[in-house]
Structures are given as C-alpha cells and as structure tokens.
C-alpha cells in the first residue's frame, strides 16, 4: 500500500476529515464510497507510517511495518463511526498500534511463547534501555531492571530468556569463539547402543529361566565367541546336539519376548 517517494502530509497536526467521514457514513456501497474511503486512507497514511516507525529495530523490516500499519489504518477507516462523537485519530491510533503488535505476536516469534512471557519480554526490554542510560559502561543488573519495570527478579529473568526466543539461529550459524564450528556440529545423533541395551534388558529374564546347560551354550557362543564344534568338545556332546540346543533356545526366547510385547 505504500509506494517509495510518497509525499507525506505537510502538517504535524491531524487533517480535518470530520466532514468526509460524515459523508462516508451516509454513502451506500459503490464507486463513490470506495473513492472517498481511499482518499481518507491516503490522507491519514503519514500518521500510520509514523506509528510504524516507533516499532523500528525490533527485528522486522520497516517497509513491512508500513504495510501492517496501512492495514490497520484501512480497518480503522472501515470501522470508524463518527456518530459516536470520537475524533478519528483517537480511534485510529490504538487500532493501528494493535495491528502492529498482533503482527509481532503472531508472525515474528520463531518459538511459541505465552502472551504473559511476551509481555514480560517487552517490559524488560524497555527497562533495560531506561536503566542503561543511568549506568554507562556496564550492563544493568537484574535487581535494577526489576526495580525499574516493577517486576520481581524471577520475572525479569523470564523476560530476559524470552529475549532469546524472538529469533532462532540457523544450524549453519557459527558458534561464538570457534573457527567455523557450526551449531549443527554440536548436535548428536541416534545412538545404536540404546537398542542393544533395550534388547539385553528384555531378554535377561528369559535367559535366566533357561536350564543351566542352555545358558552355558549361549554364553560360550555369543560372549566367548566359540564355534559350535568348540562348544561340543568343551561340553562333551556332539556338534549336532549343540546346534539343536541353540535352535531350541532361540525359538523359546523369541516366543517369550514376543508374548511380552503383545
């Protein structure tokens, strides 16, 4: 809605549009009403842009703020009722300001933060700026911020934590104090050993229920790494018998474990 190089209203005082709003209220929907509505939006647009400038430096592009403020102005023009006797500016300013604040709340936070915490963040941010003017050369303390903002120190800490939630770092962002070490490099991956731990815990009661000879065969095969022939020689039985005992153990363990998971 805003074009580059637009000439702003030359006066600091508000334009006199009371008569125009009265005509707008009486006009039926149609080309004449839409044209008058557009004229009112145009003449009040500099005020909307001045409101948008107040929110500059909070992480949003100024041109985008102009667009949001213009949207708020259009809503104010469409819903203003001159019959209530209230000046348009008194109605439009909170409408436009509210639209900008909603934009920040709904579109600028990369993490979901409760409204109460967002309010704490804003109060802490304002208090930090105020206290910093009286404490040059050092950062304000939590106690000083709390006193200035009328908050508890715990609330100040919550608000300060929320200051870090407004934007998120890319996983490709370089970590402070490192030489090209990205944030993503510090993230771990799935550990396959967890599955092994789960399997061992699940099978242990079943192993303990086996006869001693079967437990010995499994131990020699899977913990000592012996071959079936070596186990047969160790226990004085045939290799075929060892093979049958192992197959029987496997079938029994599988059946018991599956039964527990059903």
154-210 pLDDT, tens digit per residue, is 998 888 877 766 555 566 666 666 776 776 676 766 777 777 777 778 788 888 888
Is residue 6 in a domain? Answer: no
**C-beta neighbour count of 132 within 10 angstroms:** 15
Confidence of residue 246 (pLDDT cuts 50, 70, 90): very high
Q: 228-235 vs 239-261: helix axis angle to the nearest 10? A: 110
Cβ neighbours, 10 Å, residue 102: 12
> Would you say residue 12 lies in a domain?
no
Q: How many domains does the chain have?
A: 3
Q: What does the pLDDT average to over 88-96?
A: 92
**Is 90 exceeded by the pLDDT of residue 42?**
yes
* Total H helices, total E strands in the chain: 11, 0
| pTM check: above 0.85 | no
Q: What is the mean pLDDT of the chain?
A: 82
For residues 199 and 257, state if they share a domain.
yes
Over residues 103-140, the pLDDT tens digits come to 876 665 555 567 787 788 888 888 888 888 888 888 88
pLDDT over 70 percentage in the chain: 81
Q: What is the pLDDT of residue 4?
A: 40
Would you say residue 129 lies in a domain? Answer: yes
Assess if residue 27 is contained within a domain: yes
Check if the beta carbon of residue 73 is closer than 8 Å to that of residue 61: no
Angle subtended by helix axes 193-208 and 212-222, to nearest 10? 160
- pLDDT, residue 84, reads 86
Domain membership flag for residue 36? yes
2 part of a folded domain? no
Domain boundary among 92, 108, 124: 108
Residue 222 scores a pLDDT above 60 = yes
In a domain, 208, yes or no: yes
Q: Are residues 58 and 77 in the same domain?
A: yes
Question: Which structural domain, as residue segments, surrounds residue 101?
Answer: 18-108
pLDDT value for 8: 42
What confidence score (pLDDT) does residue 135 get? 81
Which one of 108, 133, 160 terminates a domain?
Answer: 108
- Taking CA atoms, 245 is separated from 120, 181, 235, 239, in Å, by 69, 54, 12, 10
Q: What per-residue confidence (pLDDT) applies to 111?
A: 54
Q: Are residues 78 and 103 in the same domain?
A: yes
Per-residue pLDDT, averaged over 36-41, amounts to 94
């Amino acid at each position: 809605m805003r074009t580059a190089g637009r000439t702003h209203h030359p006066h600091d005082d508000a334009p006199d549009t009371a008569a125009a709003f009265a005509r707008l209220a009486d006009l039926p929907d149609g080309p004449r009403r839409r044209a008058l509505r557009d004229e009112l939006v145009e003449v009040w647009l500099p005020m909307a842009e001045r409101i948008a400038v107040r929110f500059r430096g909070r992480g949003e592009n100024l041109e985008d703020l102009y667009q949001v403020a213009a949207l708020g102005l259009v809503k104010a023009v469409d819903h203003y009722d001159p019959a209530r006797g209230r000046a348009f500016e008194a109605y439009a300013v909170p409408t436009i300001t509210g639209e900008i604040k909603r934009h920040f709340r709904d579109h600028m936070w990369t993490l979901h933060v409760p409204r109460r915490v967002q309010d704490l963040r804003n109060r802490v941010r304002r208090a930090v700026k105020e206290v910093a003017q009286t404490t040059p050369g050092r950062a304000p303390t939590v106690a000083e911020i709390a006193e200035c903002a009328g908050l508890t120190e715990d609330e100040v800490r919550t608000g300060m934590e929320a200051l870090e939630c407004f934007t998120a770092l890319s996983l490709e962002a370089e970590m402070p104090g490192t030489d090209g070490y990205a944030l993503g490099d510090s993230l771990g991956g799935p550990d396959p050993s967890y599955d092994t731990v789960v399997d061992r815990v699940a099978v242990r009661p079943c192993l303990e229920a086996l006869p001693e000879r079967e437990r010995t065969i499994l131990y020699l095969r899977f913990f000592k790494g012996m071959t079936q022939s070596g186990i047969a020689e160790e226990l004085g039985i045939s290799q075929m018998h060892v093979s049958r005992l192992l197959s029987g153990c496997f079938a029994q363990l599988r059946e018991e474990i599956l039964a527990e998971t059903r």
